Chains A and B, each alone.
Chain A
Amino acid sequence: MQEMFRSRSWFGGGWGRPKNPHSLEHLKYLYNVLSRNQTVSEHNRGLLVETLRSIAEILIWGDQNDSSVFDFFLEKNMLSFFLRIMRQRSGGSNYVCVQLLQTLNILFENIRNETSLYYLLSNNHVNSIIVHKFDFSDEEVMAYYISFLKTLSLKLNAHTIHFFYNEHTNDFPLYTEAIKFFNHPESMVRIAVRTLTLNVYKVEDSSMLAFIRDRTAAPYFSNIVWFIGKHIQELDNCVRNDADHQSQNRLSDLVAEHLDHLHYLNDILCLNITDLNHVLTDHLLHKLLIPLYICSLATSRRKSSIPEGVNQAVAKILSKSSSGSSDSPRLQDPTAGKVSCVVALFLLSQVFLILSHSPLVHTLAWIILKTDRSIFEKGASKLLEHFENEKKDLEDSLCDRTSSKESTSSKENLLDEPKNITDEEKEKLAKVPPSDNLGSERPFLETVYTALDCSENDYAVLFALSLLYAMANNRGVSSDIIEQVLKPKKSISSKSSTKEVKYSYNTFLVDKLLAIILLACQPSCRIRLVTLELTLKILLQLVICDGKNILSDAHQHSLETAKSQSMALLRNFYKSEEIFLDMFEHEYCDMSKGPLNVEWLCMDSAILLPPTGTPMTGIDFVKRLPCGESEKARRAIRLFFLMRNSLLTLSGEVENQLPLTNPQSCVQIDHALDLSIARYNSDLIACTVLYKDGTKMRRFLVIDIMQLILVEPDSKRLGWGVAKLVGFLQDIEVTGDKDDSRCLHITIHRPISGATTNRVPLLSAKFLFDDNIRCMAAKQRLTKGRIKARQKKMQHIARLLEIPGQSGPPSPAFTGQGLYGSRITGRSLRENRPLFGPSRVPGFAAPKRESSPGVIHKADEFRRHRDSDSPTRISKKDSTNPCQSTLSTKKESRSRDGSSSRTRSREGSPRMPRPRSEEIPMELMKKVPNSEITPKINILPRPQTPRVEPEPTAANFTPPKLENGLVPVISEETSFIGEQKSEKDIEGLDNV
């Protein structure tokens, strides 16, 4: 098809065609062609297309290179040829029209010279082209036409607007022709129309905008509103008729389309054109949001008392709308003007998540939160009226209000709970249903509250929560109406001589939320994780004010009960099987990807269908119920994380126990390690790594506490090595070689991480050792290292879950294995026992001394006890220069639950290394002078032999930089002083 043009065979020399296609002569030639072919026919249409195409090319060339080209084009009024061509209705005229439109597109898209552009637009030919009735049934013509209009709209500005909008004739064809296609079946056409309208609105020209408002806004906006209404009824139908998740695609399109509409409306509103926004807001409220969205809320639950009211209300609204604007299509069936409650809640959530135009969202929020039944029953149209009146009153009262809270309390008495009342009173208050408390019911708010009831399932709960969250976090909703309902209220009372700050919150809602949370922590409940997460999110917003937890004791207690239940639930799944640890870490990783994004949640149409348990639907795990034991375990893990996280947030604490592996504490590739220190030295095994691709590398194998490290001796510093490969011991697989007793096959799997889904092993290679004894030793250490690394983590989890025998203060009773063993019972006995084996393996004792003590509490206690009993170990340990051992102690950067560290860790950055606090009670620590050691405590390793490095006294505070530029972490012992860097601490020590 393209060939015939490429050959250009039909432009024989006979036409006198100039050789240079980019020249004025060529345009003159093309002009001649057009003049001679003013009638389109079967025979010349190919020629015409090629001519029109060449004109585009030469004009753009002229625009960029030779102004005489454009002058010629204008002088000969060549655009009029275009018009003449398109007005002919002959065979194949669409074909020519398409090229003509594309030539115009190219022209307007590429013209840089402003004068040329003005000339092109000046003779009104463009407007004639715009109003020309092309054959829009041809999708090709349609696409090129709408692209042409869109291209023109991108050229609009305060100057060019006058070429398109004629003030005198009150004519704006570019806009009025385009909006005719706003509901075109082809999505790209609709998008182009929306783009064009937005490009028009943003031009700052008051008379043009007045034209838009007066002549087109009402019909255009009411059409949009009408189509959205029709569209959401389709959506509602889809939800009602699809309980089996059969038409997920269709539903997802309908939801996406609704979002498109809302985003479009928001884009218009965000242009801040007052007049336009007023008309649009009015249409949206009166014809869509109130009659359809909000009124649908009141219908679902309380059918007995509502129907007449709603029907009247809707009827009234509809009659108003149909009489109000003559141009708009009408909602055909007034009684059909309702959608199900879940859909209404879902759609309203989207409205509040996307739109932020204050006059609109504020009114809506007010109606939902404040309307009472008496007003509502008068009819939906009264809702707005009432709002306007109330607003006036409120504004008046706001003016009166200075410091006295009482003046407004009559209006905002919703569940006002001063913090200083007794718990009995609180409970009493909490039990009172809102309607009694208020004297008048709030039908819409009540529906939202009722939807929070999850006795059956959490289908509607999620939408009610989304709506509450969306309202509370919409910046267009002013705080005075959400305060006390969705946000904590702070009031300063000056009754006594001292000013007293009183906090209060919506206890009724908190009760509801706590009920959800408590239920979610029950085994085999029907609350999805996403519902719980959102509940907790809202709860935290409700009860944290000025960074303080204002939760009442009773409520706090409920929340803690829920947390204990979540722990109890997870304890049931706590198993020694490897999969549990992997799951635990995987879930943590997954959860750490970010907090719940409610806007994204409400973009997912899958939640519109009743909650399901089957993964076959493709619905995210958190958005459905667990299926099978393994998913139940996953759910329990997540539940625990969510509860733990919320309680930490509530108490203003920072998580310092999770993740189980702190990346900051690990040796990284290219780190330099001091191999002379006991931690690395004792485990150094020389080997040759044989990769599958045949490469060989001589390395030293270091088996650290959690990691396997392959080092290469550092050429610059004697006794140091550089980490060339690092893997976690927990992820290794070791097998012997049948044929060679000096060989091991080692595979290191990648750690679970949120960032990558790469499952290719980190390393899979053959390790050749000097002899079979070393090989055996390596195998043993690796295997045991793996077990130990996993056990450490499992014990850490056990402590988090408060599994008996895993926690508790260090006790002098732990004097021996026997006693220790007798204290632990049940499952933990079985799991803890192997810990004692490996610690006797030669070479393990020393690194263990420096292990992450927080990870294994008991083991540390045991070890400490043993260490203090064995002076030889101490001396070996003490030969370590603290400055050099800096890297090794990265592991210790996260302290666990030592009494001293807990308070400290809160104030410190989580990245900062923390002391091994649990080893030494605070009191003892303070007695330790800077450079002296109490042998029994055994914390400050002190070089006993002269070292090349400076003595670790003051230098402890500023550790030397490693060669690779890495600032090493201060060694664990010195970090007691150095790490905190707090003047106080140092002073405190000096004072001792």
Chain B
Amino acid sequence: MSYAYLFKYIIIGDTGVGKSCLLLQFTDKRFQPVHDLTIGVEFGARMITIDSKQIKLQIWDTAGQEAFRSITRSYYRGAAGALLVYDITRRETFNHLTTWLDDARQHSNSNMVIMLIGNKSDLESRREVKKEEGEAFAREHGLVFMETSAKTAANVEEAFINTAKEIYEKIQEGVFDINNEANGIKIGPQHSPTNPSLPGAGGSGGSQGSACC
């Protein structure tokens, strides 16, 4: 399946904040939210459209690899976007954001787009972190902020797509060196600047595109 750009994302945040669920919810929304089923995955890809261009998002969950410094380091460096996730029902996951952010800023390239996600917004009754606090943190650190629910799928689409939009804008501004794949951005194999609308959006593309569950 051809695309204009491929953006690599990573998802970071404490364990249990629902990173892999967000990932699965976004890359394969056919997994219908059921209240007694928690299901996630560590990797996924999906095609989206921005500015009538096909953009493929590849999302890598970094969970379980924190023990190894080399791995964390490399992941950050290879990503164009990062979703920094906390759980609105667990204050400590919010408190750890600074550490995550410091790590990300230290290892990533300076252009990486970071989006702050307050997950589990469906659990309003157990909320420990106010939405305003998340907003304030994001404002203070120059992040985009959103509250999501992997369970109800609320805002999940938006979170990933808005991040992609911001990366896309940065590409348009010439901030990203798109010829350098180490930035987590790859130009599609059939990318031609004169013809951004790529073939394959129709029949064959349809069946192929959704394979990226």
Residue positions of A touching B, CB distance < 8 A: 1-6, 21-22, 45-46, 49-50, 53, 56-57, 60-61, 64-65, 92, 95, 98-99, 102, 105-106, 109-110, 140, 143-144, 147, 150-151, 154, 187-188, 190-191, 194-195, 198, 249-250, 253, 256-257, 259-260, 263-264, 266-267
B40 CB to closest chain A CB (Å) equals: 6
Alpha-carbon distance A109/B40, docked complex (angstroms): 7
Report the Cα distance A195→B73, complex, angstroms.
12
Partner of B211, one of A140, A150, A259: A140
| B89 smallest CB distance to A (angstroms) | 20
Q: Say whether A64 contacts B206, CB under 8 Å.
A: no
Question: Which residues 52-100 of B sit at the A interface, judged by CB distance below 8 A?
Answer: 58, 60, 64-65, 67-71, 73-75, 77-78
Among A61, A140, A191, which residue has its beta carbon within 8 angstroms of that of B74? A191
Chain A residue contacts of B24, Cβ below 8 A: 106
Report if A198-B47 is in contact (Cβ < 8 Å); known contacts: A46-B207, A92-B207, A188-B58.
Answer: no
Contact among A4, A65, A190, A267 with B206 in the assembled complex (CB-CB below 8 Å):
A4
Q: Does B180 contact A (CB under 8 A)?
A: yes
Distance (whole angstroms) from the CB of B136 to the closest CB of chain A:
14
Q: Residue A187 contacts which of B37, B42, B78, B206 (CB distance < 8 angstroms)?
A: B78
Contacting residue for B71 out of A105, A195, A250, CB 8 A? A195
Stretch with Cβ within 8 A of A (4 or more), from B25-33, B123-131, B190-198: B25-33
B210 CB contacts on chain A under 8 angstroms: 1-2, 4-5, 49
Q: Please measure, in the bound complex, the distance between the C-alpha atom of A612 and the C-alpha atom of B20, giving whole angstroms.
A: 46
B171 interface hit (Cβ, 8 Å): no
Find the B residue at minimum CB distance from A253.
B182
Q: Are A61 and B28 in contact (CB under 8 A)?
A: no
Q: Report Cα–Cα, A195/B74, bound state, in Å.
A: 10
Known A105-B42, A188-B8, A191-B78; 13 more pairs at CB < 8 Å: A6-B30, A22-B34, A57-B39, A98-B213, A102-B41, A106-B39, A109-B40, A188-B78, A194-B70, A195-B65, A198-B70, A249-B180, A267-B68
In the bound complex, residues from chain A placing their C-beta under 8 Å from that of B28 are 53, 102
- A64 cross-chain contacts in B, Cβ below 8 A: 36-38
Across-interface contacts of B41 in A (CB, < 8 A) = 102, 105-106, 109-110
Query: What 8 A-B pairs come out closest when comparing CB atoms?
Result: A1-B209, A263-B70, A147-B43, A264-B70, A187-B78, A191-B74, A1-B206, A95-B211
Known A-B contacts A53-B30, A143-B58; A65 and B68 likewise in contact (beta carbons under 8 Å): no
> Does B45 touch A at the CB level, under 8 Å?
yes
**Do A65 and B36 touch (CB < 8 A)?**
yes
* 5 pairs, A vs B, C-beta closer than 8 Å: A21-B32, A53-B28, A191-B78, A198-B67, A257-B182
Residues on A with C-beta less than 8 A from B175 are none
B50 at the interface (CB under 8 A from A): no
**Shortest Cβ distance from A54 into B: residue:** B30
Which of chain A's residues has its CB closest to B77's CB? A256
Tell me whether B135 is interfacial, beta carbon within 8 Å: no
B residues 167-213 touching A (CB-CB < 8 Å): 177, 180-182, 201, 205-213
B134 at the binding interface (Cβ < 8 Å):
no
Shortest CB–CB separation between residue A48 and chain B, in angstroms? Answer: 11
For the complex, is B1 an interface residue (Cβ under 8 Å from A)? yes
B29 / chain A contacts, CB cutoff of 8 Å: 2, 6
Query: Given that A53-B30, A195-B71 are known contacts, is A140 also in contact with B64, CB under 8 Å in the complex?
Result: no
**Residues of chain B contacted by A195 (CB below 8 angstroms):** 65, 68, 71
CB neighbours (8 Å) of A253 from chain B are 180, 182
B42 touches A109 (CB 8 A): yes
Residues of A within 8 Å of B37, CB to CB, are 22, 57, 60-61, 64-65
B44 within 8 Å of A (CB atoms): yes
Give the complex CA separation of A147 and B42 in angstroms: 7
* Assembled-state Cα–Cα distance A4/B182 (Å): 35
C-alpha spacing A335/B41, complex, angstroms:
49
Which of A143, A260, A266 is close to B77, meaning CB atoms less than 8 Å apart? Answer: A260
CA A195 to CA B58, docked complex, whole Å = 18
Cβ of A1 and Cβ of B47 under 8 Å apart?
yes
CB-nearest residue of chain A to B21: A110
Structural contact, B60 and A267, CB atoms closer than 8 A? no
B182: chain A residues at CB < 8 Å are 187, 253, 256-257
Residues of B within 8 Å of A, CB-based: how many? 49
Give the complex CA separation of A147 and B58 in angstroms.
12
Contact between chains at B73 and A259 (CB < 8 Å): yes
Are B207 and A198 within 8 A (Cβ)? no
Give the complex CA separation of A109 and B73 in angstroms: 23
Query: Known contacts A194-B71, A195-B71: does B77 contact A95 (CB below 8 Å)?
Result: no
> Measured between C-beta atoms, what is the minimum distance from B102 to chain A in Å?
12
B22 nearest CB across to chain A (Å) = 14
**Known A-B contacts A194-B71, A194-B74, A195-B65; A110 and B209 likewise in contact (beta carbons under 8 Å):** no
Closest to A46 in B: B207
Chain B residues contacting A65 (CB-CB under 8 Å) are 36-37
DSSP majority for the A interface? helix
Contact of B60 with A1 in the complex, beta carbons under 8 Å: no
Question: Shortest CB–CB separation between residue B4 and chain A, in angstroms?
Answer: 15
In whole angstroms, what is the CA distance A105 to B31 when docked?
14
* Contact A105 B43, CB 8 Å, known A61-B37, A195-B68: yes
Which residues of A sit under 8 angstroms from B42, Cβ to Cβ?
105, 109, 147, 150-151
Which residue of B is nearest A105, CB measured?
B41
CB closest residue in chain A, given B79: A188
How far, in whole Å, are A259 and B71 apart by their CA atoms in the complex? 11
Nearest residue (CB) in A for B29 is: A2
Distance of A4 Cα from B43 Cα, bound (Å): 23
Asked if A110 meets B39 with Cβ closer than 8 Å, knowing A4-B206, A6-B30, A53-B213, the reply is yes
- B58 neighbours in A (Cβ, 8 Å): 143, 188
- Closest chain B CB from A27 CB (angstroms): 14
CA–CA, A4 to B58, complex, Å? 22
- Closest CB in chain A relative to B150 CB, distance in Å: 13
Closest A residue to B68 by beta carbon equals A267
**Which residues from A are CB-within-8-Å of B209?**
1-2
A191-B74, A195-B68, A256-B77 are contacts. A110–B207 as well, Cβ < 8 Å? no
**B207 to A144, Cβ gap below 8 A?**
no
A425: min CB distance to chain B, Å: 49
CB of A797 to closest CB in B, whole Å: 33
Set of chain A residues within 8 Å of B34, measured between Cβ atoms: 22, 61
Taking CB atoms, residues of chain A closer than 8 Å to B201 are 1
Max chain B CB contacts within 10 Å: which of A1, A256, A263?
A1
Complex: how many Å from CA A975 to CA B131? 48
Bound CA–CA A1/B206 (angstroms):
4
Please report the C-alpha to C-alpha distance between residue A60 and residue B34 in the assembled complex, in whole angstroms. 12
Query: In the complex, what's the smallest C-beta–C-beta distance from B145 to chain A, in angstroms?
Result: 19
Which residues of A lie under 8 Å from residue B32 when comparing CB positions?
A: 21
User: For residue A148, which residue of chain B has the nearest CB?
Assistant: B43
* Shortest Cβ gap from B206 to chain A (Å): 5
The chain A residue with its CB closest to the CB of B70 is A263
Residues of B near A109 (CB, < 8 A) are 20, 40-42
Complex alpha-carbon distance, A56 and B42, angstroms: 14
B residues in contact with A250, CB < 8 Å: 180
Contacts of B44 on A, CB cut-off 8 Å? 102
**In whole Å, how far is B86's beta carbon from the nearest beta carbon of chain A?**
21
**B38 → chain A closest CB, angstroms:** 8
Report the separation of the CA atoms of residues A143 and B44 in the bound assembly, to the nearest whole angstrom.
9
Q: Which residues of B contact A198 (CB under 8 A)?
A: 67-68, 70-71
Contact across chains for B78 and A102 when beta carbons are under 8 A apart:
no
- Is B60 a contact partner of A98 (Cβ separation < 8 A)? no
Task: Give the residues in chain B near A98, CB-CB below 8 Å.
Answer: 211-213
Q: Note all chain A residues with C-beta closer than 8 A to B39.
A: 56-57, 60, 106, 110
**Distance from A270 Cβ to chain B, minimum over Cβ atoms (Å):** 9
Contacts of B71 on A, CB cut-off 8 Å?
A: 191, 194-195, 198, 267
Residue of A nearest to B47 (CB): A1
Nearest residue (CB) in A for B56 is: A140
Q: How far is the CB of A610 from chain B (nearest CB, A)?
A: 23
Nearest to A110 among chain B residues (CB) is: B39
Nearest residue, chain B, Cβ from A112: B38
| B74 in contact with A143 (CB, 8 Å) | no
